[in-house]
Amino acid sequence: MPRPRAVVTGGAGFLGSHLCERLIREGYSVLCLDDLSTGSPRNVEHLAEIGPFRFVRADVTDFVHVVGDVDVVLHFASPASPIDYLRMPIETLKVGSIGTLHTLGLAKEKKARYLLASTSEAYGDPQVHPQPESYWGHVNPVGPRGVYDEAKRFAEAMTMAYRRSQAVDTAIVRIFNTHGPRMRPDDGRAVPTFIRQALAGEPLTVAGDGRQTRSIQYVDDLVEGCVRLLHSPLAGPVNIGNPHEVSIEDLARGILDLVGVPGTLRFVPRPEDDPTVRRPDITLARRELGWEPAVGLGEGLRRTIEWLRAGPERSVAPRAI
């Protein structure tokens, strides 16, 4: 029997590359589309050795054309860390709007199941805690973070419009903070930043007083939740995140302990619209998908530290794909 075929946008990025690998191991033939604005060929160079895999450098805001049958479309293309979407605000809005339109059109043309990667940032700086999928959010649409928050909220609305009016089989996953191998050490998010600073013997830069909280999951758990949602009839949105909440200060001190070096914290001004709390209500994922995180925070951080500690030696130089 021929393998089912998956198209993954943003497939050379941190999350997308792990999804591509999992889908290949699940028996899919995978086509990865990525413009490499935040992704890297290094993340996917090994995948052709695992199974049928093809990389095409493409910007989904220009045009999306795929020859042949497609069974599933996973739209994961987008800058996802503040340092990236603040540097590329217009590109972020375009991939959430035009890119979503184009990939939904592909799913409609091919009669494929569609999975949109949305985000916990759809809840903004929440006034409901923990956050269930029914919460509409508290977002500043004109603040600097609004380019990412509103791009994803628009993408969700577009996805539901295609489901309701065009009968496209869609699903939405709201992804909470995720870490693991293939993160860029300079991507600006707390976990890789703290690890990079600890490994370099630098003070860890904690925003504000460090009492703001996040819920951090390991990438394998995120991928498991996405695959279960993809293979389910659910439309979502569905929260996929770790319900264990940790303050930023405790996260920094925990990373110092795991790295095993003496270190200090340096408190710096908190970014505008930085959420005060973040914790998913995963009742829906537990009930409908049988999903919950399997990797504890300490174990996930150990794996991420090992990967970042390996530095440039963790992979051979990129080659043409």
Give the per-residue pLDDT at 314.
52
Find out whether 230 and 290 touch, Cβ atoms under 8 Å: no
- Kindly indicate the confidence band of residue 273, based on its pLDDT and cuts at 50, 70 and 90: confident
In angstroms, how far is the first alpha carbon of the chain from the final one? Answer: 26
Mean pLDDT, the chain, rounded, equals 94
Residue 201's region, left for phi above 0, alpha for psi from -120 to 50, else beta, is left
The sheet with strand 53-57 has its strands ordered as 53-57, 29-34, 5-9, 72-75, 113-119, 170-175, 238-240
pLDDT at 223: 98
**3 state DSSP class of 27:** coil
Q: Among 206, 224, 179, which residue's Cα sits nearest to residue 271?
A: 206
Task: Name the residue ranges covered by the structural domains of the chain.
Answer: 5-182+215-243+277-294
Cα torsion through 220, 225, 231, 234, rounded to 10: -170
Q: How far apart are CA 177 and CA 300, in angstroms?
A: 12
Rounded Cα–Cα distance for residues 115 and 125 (Å):
25
pLDDT at 318: 32
- pLDDT one-digit tens code per residue, 98-154: 999 999 999 999 999 999 999 999 999 999 999 999 999 999 999 999 999 999 999
**DSSP secondary-structure letter at 133?**
T
Q: At what angle do helices 248-259 and 297-310 cross, to 10 degrees?
A: 60
List the helix and strand counts (H, then E) for the chain: 9, 13
pLDDT at residue number 305: 97
Catalytic site residues? 148
What's the token pair of residue 257? 């302990």
Predicted confidence (pLDDT) at residue 206 exceeds the cutoff of 50:
yes
Nearest to 132 by CA among 243, 304, 280, 246: 280
Strand-pair category, 5-9 with 29-34: parallel
Compute CA distances 216 → 174, 187, 234, 295, 316, whole Å. 13, 16, 24, 10, 29
Q: Which CATH number fits domain 5-182+215-243+277-294: 3.40.50.720, 1.10.3720.10, 3.40.470.10, 3.30.70.20?
A: 3.40.50.720
Give yes or no for a cis peptide into 293 (omega within 30° of 0): no
Instruction: Give Cα 251 to chain centroid, integer Å.
Output: 20
Residue with tokens 């042949």: 68
Give residue 311's pLDDT band: very low, low, confident or very high (50, 70, 90). confident
* pTM for the full predicted model: 0.94
Q: What percent of the chain has pLDDT over 90?
A: 92
DSSP for 141-206 reads TTSTTHHHHHHHHHHHHHHHHHHHHH---EEEEEE--EE-TT--TTS--HHHHHHHHHHTTPPEEE
Rounded to an integer, what distance in angstroms lies between the CA atom of residue 17 and that of residue 311? 18
